[in-house]
Amino acid sequence: MTDSLVFDELPFKSIEQHDKVLLRSCKERAKSDDVIYHLGDLCSFKMDRGNKGLDVKPYELIKDIPATFINIRGNHDLNNKVKSVCDSMHMFLSKRYPSVSLSHYPTYDKRIDSSCLHAPIHLCGHVHKQFRHCLDLDHKILNINVGCMMWGFKIISDVELIAYLNVLFRKRPDELYRCHTENGKLIFIGNNSF
């Protein structure tokens, strides 16, 4: 994870400070009747490739968060001893947005569970700060990156997510940040500063 502090240019001096800020935010925002859907990579744990991580049991990190915690498997969760309930899932968000898929990966990633390609809205992580939203033109699915880096290092509530979607759906598709595959290469189009 310390590599991520440098790679993502995060505003923390250490991974311990990073964890403290995120956990404090979760404790402040989450209530006992809430459900937190964590979209993978809960922590790194003595990983290979020089990324040492913390010598902490993964669930020790979240034991004091008052909400129900559902971890969807991320690419690093295969190495860090985190028990994940599934690779993807679907949920009802609101009357306006009844079908939403959730996965660690965006819909353009080859590792995506194919069941995620049937909902018009997809929540993902994995992409760090690559985008906050991206319309996948190949699958005609709007990806929303709900990773903490894009939301002020705090969990995003369903109310905040719906408000963000309402703003996006007032725009024309050509005004959104978009991506498609061309000759096997992923191409991004537009301005990602929204």
Confidence of residue 7 (pLDDT cuts 50, 70, 90): low
Residue 159 has pLDDT above 70, yes or no: yes
- The set of residues, in sequence order, having a beta carbon less than 8 Å from that of 45 and lying 6+ positions away, is 53, 54, 55, 56, 58, 79, 80, 81, 82
In percent, the amount of the chain with pLDDT more than 90 equals: 51
More confident position, 133 or 19: 133
pTM: 0.87
Q: Work out the mean pLDDT of the chain and round it to a whole number.
A: 85
68: tokens are: 């129900």
